[in-house]
Amino acid sequence: MQEIERMVTHRQAAEAEGRGITTIYKRLARGEYDAVKDGKSTLILWSSVLRRRASLPKPHTACAKARSAFRRSLRP
């Protein structure tokens, strides 16, 4: 039996990515997500959201440490 792929709406994808709906539609237009149409609804394949996230560059450790030190220095 074939496993059913999880699909999410553009709003769910926006919430998961921490971005706005317009950004999600732009990414869809650029082909960054795989999507299907179900009537009038556009459903985004969850695996494509995860794949895009995994492809993002990792932060440079030195930059992250400097940013943390800077934030600590701003605390009263």
Q: What is the model's pTM?
A: 0.71
- Structural domains of the chain, count: 1
Q: In what order do the strands lie in the sheet with 35-38?
A: 7-8, 41-45, 35-38
Residue 74 to residue 54: CA distance in whole angstroms: 32
Does residue 61 lie within any of the structural domains?
yes
* Residue 65 binned pLDDT confidence (cut-offs 50, 70, 90): confident
- Long-range own/partner contacts, residues 12-20 (CB < 8 A, 24 or more apart): 12/44, 13/44, 13/49, 16/49, 17/49, 17/53
At 30-41, the pLDDT tens digits run 999 999 999 999
At 10-50, the pLDDT tens digits run 999 999 999 999 999 999 999 999 999 999 999 999 999 99
* Residue 61 CA to its chain's centroid (Å): 22
Question: What range does the domain containing 11 cover?
Answer: 7-74
